Structure 1
Amino acid sequence: MTMIMNAFSYFLMITLLILLIVPSSFFIDAETKEYPSFVRGPNSWRITPSSDFSFPETDISVMPVLVNGIFVCGFHCSYHGNTCQFAISIFNTSFNGDYRFPQSSFPPQVVWSANRDKPVDVQALLELTFEGKFMLKDANDTSVWSQGTVGKLVSRLNLTAEGNLMLLNKADHIVWQSFDHPTDTLVRGQRLVPGQKLKASISPDDPREGLYAFAISRGVFTAYMDLNPPQIYYSSSVEDNVEFKNKWFGSFYVGDWGSFIRLGNDGHLKAYELTESGWEGIDLLGLDQCSYPLPCGKYSLCSKEGCSCLDTVSESETTFFKPINSTSLDHGCYAVSPISCEPSVRHSFIELKGGYSQPIYSSLFSDTIITLEICKETCLKNCSCKAAIYNLGYCYFLSQVFSIEKNYSSDYYSNSAFIKVQNYPEKKRQNGAVIVGSTLGAVLVVLLICGLFFLRAEKGFEEAEEHCLDNMLGMPTRFSYEELKNITKNFSNKLGEGGFGSVFHGILPLGSDVAVKHQFNIGAVNKSFIAEVQTIGSIHHYNLVSLVGFCAESSNRLLVYEYMANGSLDRWIFNQNRDLDLGWQIRRKIILDIAKGLAYLHEECNQKIIHLDIKPQNILLDENFNAKISDFGLSKLIGKDQSRVITAMRGTPGYMAPEWLSSCITEKVDVYSFGIVVLEILCGRRNVDVSQQEEDMHLLGLFKRKQEEGQLMDLVDKCSDDMQSNAAEVVELMKVAAWCLQTEYARRPSMSTVVKLFEGSVDVTGSLNEDFLNGLTLEPVDTFPSIVLPSMLSGPR
């Protein structure tokens, strides 16, 4: 018995020792991660779909690489767009002991970014080599950003407690640091030195570089619009500013102003500190709201009463300007008849008397006193002069009309502003009818009356269209025809041509590339033009081509889009040139991009948008082969509570779903077109290819036959070695196309389901089964009537 008791005591003692020891090692939370503040090279990091920190209320997730105090360096991604920046963020407080999560829920603030203008996708790679290469590559292995230290040996990557990302050599000397390359933000301890500048973002949701900049030079700091020439709206010497004097030593220093200083997309320079309600900023420039360039947009008046168009303070009885958005006047106004560089007799001024000026530092026409008449006459003859400010004999020219400020100070009351406007053409007296009637008789009188009636009706249609454009909400920029002629160098560089017009390359004044579509066949264009402006002008998604602006002037109808460097998808998948070959991963990503864009149109907009013309010619590729849907001229908007809609047949033969024969459609017609495009991408050939033998001419019939023969791999694009080497995966993706091509639209998946399939949360199990194949519609082009509608012959637009 004693031996048994001793054994039990020994066992109990051992058990207690294990319970005391094991929790400190074996039972540690498996999710605990300790992020270092530095890593040694060589090393690399790939963006994965998962993230360690998520902030759903701001659409942000963060995958850390380095952490030091309140600063996190890593990948900052958008939930919905799946686009990421390699960036440094300041969190609202220090992390807890195990570095798993911040102590509060306020989202982080990005204070530096490597690739703000070129976001990358999931599976992008950050790489640090021993030779000094520090670069970010997109998923297709395209270099997006590098810091230029090739040839300098790098020992480690270090994030300091001040938020400075450094590359250090073996002697711990700095080879490169993020503090030398500021974006829109300075953190405490960071200096802005001559030669550097802050560039504001386009908007809170768009981190790309915008208009506003802040810099220091020779003891003077300036805030300006980064145009050519720069438009300064604030300038002050260090010596003249007591508040800043002690914080400046030939540079701009954050000092004790807050956690960070940021130049906002509205031009305000603010110091931010964390409060109980979140990040709050104090304006450092001390300007009132109307002293910024665009508080009310272009051609608008900013006053204590709010924003309004310039017509409201002029004595003219004619309406020269209208609000871009009648429900939100701070969006600015546009000229009803944009001014051109025609002879000055076509121009005049509306005068704003007493205390009106533009906060932008204007160009002084003459350093000597001149008369008001000379000031006005010279501006009329100067094509680049859009307005003139006259004050006590001095004349200032404005090359752009931003928000005009109403000054209530007596120092400015003598200012008068003269805004150049385009004269309306004088109406000619209609006395020709009497002459014609007296010479040619009653028949010609009738013809003339009919002609006048037709012109009146046509003018009424044009006015109705103009009224429609004027009253659309959320309008993009409205350009004049002359502006677009200048942007495109008189339409000299044609990118392509389709059934509704030609597309030209252009460069905006800020240096951004754009594509300008000049529509013709105006009789058939008005409706599609309005549809496109109204549809794409009000929606924003990474996989939809952005509409930058438009022009509706006389009979000219032009649309200005973001420039897509790699053109349309068809030139890459239907070309036998191996130099234009797309690899498997790029093609798979393009298919996913199209699916995301369609899912947004069908399910995430205020109204359901059916594109109705999905085809490779309307899928555009940017410089990194991100795919974006374009051309909304045939699109249809329906209420979210509507399941089906009756509409006239429209689209392109070969991509049209069978239910078009009944003219009663749903968004599943886009799903069908998507299925056709997927097959074309995977097979590298057109859906209907007349160059093939008759039995192989229609891709859908060939697809079903090859499946029955067990030879689907024969369909994989033979012009691509990479596609051939991944043929098994390509064939698996053909299931998606088969699912989307069901004759019964109800059996087709939604586009959001297709996206989930790509992301792994939905599965189409098994091989390509007969149930899918028996539901395919074969050779749909033959089912349509022989009379082809004009809308069906759209071609690439």
Structure 2
Amino acid sequence: MSFIASQLFLYFFIISPFSYGAADTLALNQSLSGNQTLASLDGNFEMGFFKPGKSPNYYIGIWYKGVQTTTIVWVANRETPIHNRFSSILKIIDGNLVLLNESTTQIWSTNMSSSSTATHGTSLVLLDDGNLVLRYGSSSSPPIWQSFDHPTHTWLPGSKLGYNKRTDTKQVLTSWRNSEDPGMGLFSLEIDQNSKQLLIKWKSSIEYWTSGSWGDQDKLFGLVSEMGMDYINNYNYVDNANESYFTYSSSISRLIIDVTGQIKQLLWSDTNEPWDLVWAQPRGLCQVYGRCGEFGVCSDQFGACNCLANFEPRLQSEWDLGSFSGGCVRKTVLDCSDMTQKPVFISSYIEKRFILAFPHNEALPLDRLECRSSCLDDCNCNAYTFMSKICHHWNLEFMNSDMLFSNYSNPDMIYIKVSSSDHHKIKIKIKIGEGEKIGFCLGSVAISMVFVLGLICLIIHKRNRILVGKTAMEGRLVAFAYRDLQIATKKFSDKLGGGGFGSVFKGILRDSSIVAVKKLESVSQGDKQFRSEVSTIGMIQHVNLVRLCGFCAQGNNKLLVYDYMPNGSLNSHLFHEKEDTSLSWEKRYQIALGIAKGLLYLHEKCRDCIIHCDIKPENILLDADFCPKIADFGLAKLMGRDFSRVLTTMRGTRGYLAPEWILGSAVTAKADVFSYGMMLFELVHGKRNSQQSEDLSFTFFPSLAAKVVMNGGDILSLIDDRLHREASVEEVTKVLKLAYWCIQDEEDNRPSMSQVEHALEGFLDVNMPPIPQAVMFFLDESDVESNKWVPGCGWTQGKVNMGSDSSQSKDGVTHFLSLNS
């Protein structure tokens, strides 16, 4: 019995409000009406009439039978509801499944062509996977129609999302209009069979999110780490002469296109609990195209929608249901024929990344005053902006205004037309930290007022000059002017750290957001190539990677702008001598796991494998919650030929270099694994691996730790003294064994970062590793000859174990990492 089936069995006494008790099959001479339902044999799914929320309408749908919160997965008559389910009938007529309303009018049908001889044995069956199947003949006959070919807003495990090459049709998920109307909404999820990726579209035309191309080898989408990485689902792509499609297998989850415009993966674990959200894309609701509709403003990280000043919701009832796509309308309608009511403009910041996507955004060869006047005189012009000496008009619709520019975008001022009768109601609000400015322009004023206003503007202009602005956008990144970053960093005076790539300085932008500005050194690339490489880095986003939000490329000045990490770098917590209680063992373990996940994403989840080449505590930054974020990824390629010089001159980096670096061999992702292993020792010990004392004696911690590990000594004696022995012996032992595996001499014997992640999460047991040459070099001969730990072999008891577990092969790590049963 499947997991969900067993859970449903335990909860058999909870009955859906639409349940009447029924079999799984509707025969040719039977019908469905009122409270009658079909139920799949294992009790997972039920089909019948349902009413969403407080709506007066009824629909034919399929839902999870035993989940306390009614969860609809498919709807038949999305656009044609009924009002009386007891007077309406679902039955098979002429080989088709048909819904007749109160007037016995056909309002929905499967619309399959059929012959009269083929319809005698027609039956409808609700299968255990939630698929509703119409068949001619016996139960072994292939379906002539199935709901899996006509999904609504839910993608169930086992169903297809794809393209039928024979009929030139797609299986597309389409959102509900709102929580009480399952009709066709504005957002859809579909497959692009040419590039093998998933797309979310607005009104089936404007694409605003993509999963990235599917990788046939790693079974992952290029731009979405969540899809395929989780333990819940197993995605697969099929392409043959008849069709191409994605499918996934799971018994406890579902994927939907929500009314918010996001796709969501939901997990169900208990009958008494609601569905748990596993992940959602796009991550930010304000990234959904048309989220707040015409003249709406997306104003916080939760995607809250508001109307612009002197606008109000078009349909308040829809806003109350969480559907904002209807947008806003002016409180006072513009009358172009009434010259006494000539409109005026209000101004607001918007997010510039959407401007290039506006459907009515034609560039006009006008100066600033002409741009304003032409929009004022054009009855169809709703708004204008003047950016980079180019005039842009928005005719008929204005959408995607976004106040979140301080986090990830480059703002500009846009001017929205309103009735002059409302101008006295508009209040000036200036909140630089929140990124919101709403002002007003007066039609005609006295000359003295013009002088006063001009003087005020001059003062404000001078004030703003001391604060950095964002000058342009390139893809998802902000292209800063060098002078702006000079101002933000107080001429690069507040230094946070430095290394071979360059120094890092703290900066404060005009919206009061804090950033870290890296001033690169020895970059030989031209501006065009530099911008291209930086744009690629900007596309890489993961919770354990520092986000690149902008750059500067002006001649020899090459700078990168990152999110600021308030807790600094990992080395600042590990290696200073002051008492630091902020890094408990639990946090250190989570830091090790987070770094592993970040490296796994770089190595296996990106479109192209990214080798960091310089993993060390200085390049691990900690946010406010001590979540680790890898910095400087992608810079190895950016630095080009100068990178080898950087590695040999960077202080401390030599202690993390894999043997292949020193030998001049080709470097793979396993070089990062080696560096990660060396860093694990330092996470445990709280000191550098290599240390020289005042008497010039040299100690190498991995060798000292080996003596304790191989002799079954006091493991907690190895941890940082500041932890006061407060740590899990099992976890410390696991981390140390993993560290030895990661620094194996042969890269083929090192684990992948996915194996490291699984081991830290408890899905793999870690056996005793062979002793690396670097560790053995600092061991006494007595330690090696004790037959406790032998080079090239696993853990032994009094004698050398030369069995299969000690063999060294291409995938040697599999002999020492075993599945945790």
Q: TM-score range by the shorter chain?
A: 0.3 to 0.5
Q: Please, what TM-score do these two structures have when normalized by structure 2? A: 0.45
Q: Please, what TM-score do these two structures have when normalized by structure 1? A: 0.46
